[in-house]
Structure formats: C-alpha cells, structure tokens
Amino acid sequence: MRLKGRVAIVTGAAQGIGQAIVQEFAKEGATLAAIDQKAEVKEVCRHVHACGAKATAYVFDITDKEAYRKCIEDTVEREKQIDILVNDAAVMFYGNLFEDRLDLWQRTMAVNLEAMYWGCKLVAPYMAKQGWGRIVSITSVEAIATQGLLGAYCATKGGIISFTKSLAVDLAPHGILANAIAPGCIHTPLSINDGVDETETELFKTWYVGRRKIPLARPGQPEEVARAAVFLASEDCSYVTGHTLVVDGGLTITT
C-alpha cells in the first residue's frame, strides 16, 4: 500500500495507460479523481469502487480550464488535499507537413502540452502548502527516437520532457518532485490506426519481434507503465526529479 492516504488526480483515465494507472494506484491505497472526456471513465471508477477503493469520475475536456479548476477545487473540498498529479491525457494524428492542418496541430498542443501545464499550475499551490507532492507526466519514446507523420505529437512529447525538467527545479524547494515516463510500444487503443492493430501487423511481428528491434520482443502492457508510475508517485521516489523514465522493452537502445 505504497500510496495509502494519498489523493491522486489522473487525466486520460478512461482507457489505456491512464486507466491502468487509476487501477494500480487504487490497489496501492490511493484515493482517485479520474478525469476523461469519455463517459467510460465512470465505469473505470465503478470497477475501483467494487475493489474496495475510492475514485470519483470527472467527465470533461481538459482544455476547458474552468472545468479543470472546478474539478481540482471539488477534490480539495472533499479530500482536503492533493498529493499526486498524473498527466496522461493525449491526442495524436497522422500526417506529414504537407498533409496536416493547423487546427489539428493546435488541438494537439492544447491537449498534450497546455492542459498539462494548466493542471500543474492548479495543483502545485496545494502540494506546496503541505510540503509534499508528486507530478508524473506521460511523454513518449517518440520524443527521443521519432518517426515521420507525427510532428505535432512528437513536439508536444518533447515539450513535456523539457517542461518537466524546468518544473522539477521550480518545485524542488517546496518538496514536490516532477518526473516523466516515456512509454514505448504499449498495447492500448492508440495502437489501433484506421482499424488496424499495429502490434498485429507483419511489419511489427517481423521487425520489432522477430528481429528484436524491441529486445524483449513484445509490446508492453499498460500495467507495466502504471507500475513505474506508482514508483514515481510514492515515497520510494525520494531522490529522483526532472527525470524521464523510459519504459520501452529496450526499443530505444537498438539501432
């Protein structure tokens, strides 16, 4: 129960990595506020309740700054504290520079980066007041070893890494640690593009598994990222800040 007595905010909580983090945090004793624009986040919280933990669902778009503020204020009023923020919510689109659109670029920036900043800004005063806090932001190996067609997504994920470093320096005097996790190929709904599960394609099976471009020769599971998040959100993480923890089965160490 490494998170017993802690109150955690998790964005992008309706599916994939965000859902897994909510569930792992609940197992470790945390009280959750789970945010997503998809109503399925309510079912995630019902499952947590059924397992004996406490989670409150909030359905709104995190680019809605006032809705986000109200969520934080409501959580503090109910739980009297906020200890952990996990920034997981993200969007992405495929298209090279000739094909993409400014509105899609702006939407990606608003969700992946600006809303992350706003969430940090909202929770930091409460964490500083109590002299303890953990901020964990989900970036991507696309910020480290990128591919084409994902310019906006890669820019935001690189921005998360840089902002996390700056955030760590700003917040260290207040007892708040800020770190990031860079997942590699994790089997989530984002693995499915135009109805095709990328982990089931011949390219993936041949190159990433057969030739071990991923040395562990398989995609990761959301729970494996969630367990890394538990470490970064807990007392076990006491002397790590401004760091990006890569969880990719070795993908980025191969050539």
Active-site positions? 153
Tokens of 186: 């994790």
Bridge partner residues of 196 (DSSP): 193
Alpha carbon 172 to chain centroid, angstroms: 21
Distances (CA, A) of 58 to 37, 145, 214: 8, 34, 36
CA angle 85–87–88, rounded 5-degree value: 135
Q: Is residue 18 within 8 Å of 12, Cβ to Cβ?
A: yes
The conformational region for residue 40 under phi > 0 = left, psi -120 to 50 = alpha, else beta, is alpha
Q: How many CA atoms, within 13 angstroms, populate the side-chain half-sphere of residue 239? A: 0
> Any residues with CB less than 8 A from the CB of 13 and at least 6 apart, and which?
19, 21, 22, 32, 34, 35, 36, 41, 44, 57, 88
Helix (H) or strand (E) holding 137: strand 133-138
Give the alpha-carbon dihedral of 220, 216, 165, 109, to 10 degrees: -40
Which stretches within 113-221 are classed as H helix?
115-130, 151-171, 202-203
